[in-house]
Amino acid sequence: MKKIALLGSTGSIGKQVLEVVDRYPEKFKIASLCCNKSAKELANQIEKYRPAVAGLTCAEKASEITNLPAGVNLYTGENALLHCVLSEADIIVVAVVGFCGLAPVIEACKMGKTIALANKESLVAGGKLVMELAKKYGATIIPIDSEHSAIWQCLHFNRQAPFKKIILTASGGALRDIPINELQNVTPEIALNHPTWKMGAKITVDCATMMNKGLEVMEACWLFDCKPSDIEVVIHPQSIVHSMVEYADNALIAQLSNPSMDIPIQLALSYPERLASATNELDFSLLSLDFNKPSLERYPCLALALEAANKGMNYPCALSGANEIAVELFLKGKIKYTQISKYVRYALDNTVELKPTYENLVKTDYLAREAVFTAYKENKID
């Protein structure tokens, strides 16, 4: 029986982790549950899974959790995530969104844990730090993101295996067929209508801008010890091929399935075992697969992310923090879709290069967010 610490239990990935636990109750047990502010939903999860520890980051919502079952320790406030990284857990699932994922990942690394990682920012911003700590303390990082899980599978679960190139596939997002000159009129509703994946709002917008793919390039560099130039991004609208690895002899290994997060999530928990999943078999009679190169004119955020990836240091952290705020402003209807990349550009241009220590990353993240807020308040972006 594997004991799971689940950070981000009420989000899209967290709920699917619980579905896997429901499917295989004899194999998995929830040891801790933590979320940001969905207190009522957390209360229902606590009632059902009876974890030893539960956490709610947003302390003001604690009053919504009534009738806490005996034997459950509830922590609230900003350290709630850290309290849920339990020493008795076998797997720490980090499925929280944003920079706040970095601290619990660092904690889990120091405990030498197996970390099933869905949080992007911890590797994008803190990749160097996290990978060094994981090595030092013998922690294992298993990717949950579908592309990185695919690459890991194509490498036969050996993240150190030598390869020539990674081909990272992207759906191209909800706006891939809209003429470039009409993108400025895109509303949040249109941007949130993703063609193949059902995900949270922030990541759906990141898919449309392809910032998400840029962040995934950075994550792949850390996870598979390579450079941005070793990774090719390819648009594949059907989202059937989840990524590929090319070897020295030009043989390509690809991982295919119907688009579903169920496979990578379950595999991260069940590895090295493969278990029956809820995803349907591929029907080849219905398949037709297309691949094409992304246009950096259509996807300026991808270009910015690749620029930050090549610069390294604290630039990826600044890019990611600035993007979070710019996407938030877009989702609130305050800025145009086409301004997202301009705000990120502004924040990057105002970033001072620093070594990526934890303290410097916290500072960089804060300053990049502030740069976007200031630029918005002072109307600096056309």
Query: Quick one: 171 or 341, whose CB is closer to Mg ion?
Result: 171
Question: To the nearest whole angstrom, how small is the minimum distance from the Cβ of residue 169 to Mg ion?
Answer: 9
**Got the DSSP string for 62-101?**
GGG--SPPTTPEEEESTTHHHHTS-TT-SEEEE---SGGG
Query: Quick one: 65 or 244, whose CB is closer to Mg ion?
Result: 244
**Which residue stretch of 137-145, 290-298, 325-333, 343-351 sits at the interface with Mg ion (rule: CB under 5 A)?**
137-145
Question: To the nearest whole angstrom, how small is the minimum distance from the Cβ of residue 147 to Mg ion?
Answer: 5
Q: Where are the beta strands (DSSP E) in the chain?
A: 2-7, 28-35, 53-56, 73-76, 91-94, 114-117, 140-143, 165-170, 231-235, 241-246, 252-256
What is the C-alpha separation between 240 and 257, in angstroms, rounded? 5
Question: To the nearest whole angstrom, how small is the minimum distance from the Cβ of residue 278 to Mg ion?
Answer: 19
Query: Quick one: 125 or 151, whose CB is closer to Mg ion?
Result: 151
Which residue's entry shows tokens 């390819």?
234
Question: To the nearest whole angstrom, how small is the minimum distance from the Cβ of residue 212 to Mg ion?
Answer: 6
Question: To the nearest whole angstrom, how small is the minimum distance from the Cβ of residue 311 to Mg ion?
Answer: 23
Scanning residues 323 to 342, which ones bind Mg ion (CB under 5 A)? none
Cα dihedral 149, 150, 153, 155 sign: negative
Side chain identity at residue 346, one-letter code: Y
Question: To the nearest whole angstrom, how small is the minimum distance from the Cβ of residue 216 to Mg ion?
Answer: 6
Provide Rg for the chain, Cα atoms: 20
What is the C-alpha separation between 170 and 237, in angstroms, rounded? 7
Query: Quick one: 145 or 324, whose CB is closer to Mg ion?
Result: 145
Roughly how many angstroms between the first and final C-alpha of the chain, as a whole number? 56
The yes or no reply on residue 147 touching Mg ion (CB under 5 A) is: yes
Query: Quick one: 147 or 365, whose CB is closer to Mg ion?
Result: 147
Are 342 and 112 within 8 A, CB to CB? no
Among 145, 262, 324, 365, binds Mg ion (CB under 5 A): 145
**Got the DSSP string for 231-294?**
EEEEE-TT--EEEEEE-TTS-EEEEE-SS-THHHHHHHHHTT-----SSPPP-GGG-----BPP
Query: Quick one: 114 or 212, whose CB is closer to Mg ion?
Result: 212
Strand partners, 233: 168
Query: Which residue number is nearest to Mg ion in terms of Cβ?
Result: 145
**Which residue stretch of 87-95, 143-151, 176-184, 190-198 sits at the interface with Mg ion (rule: CB under 5 A)?**
143-151
Contact string 164-193 vs Mg ion (x = CB under 5 A): ------------------------------
Provide the CA 151 distance to its chain's centre, in angstroms: 15
The yes or no reply on residue 219 touching Mg ion (CB under 5 A) is: no
Query: Quick one: 263 or 375, whose CB is closer to Mg ion?
Result: 263
Question: To the nearest whole angstrom, how small is the minimum distance from the Cβ of residue 198 to Mg ion?
Answer: 13
Q: Are strands 252-256 and 91-94 parallel, antiparallel or unpaired?
A: unpaired
**Which residue stretch of 74-82, 146-154, 279-287, 303-311 sits at the interface with Mg ion (rule: CB under 5 A)?**
146-154
- Return residues touching Mg ion (CB under 5 A): 145, 147
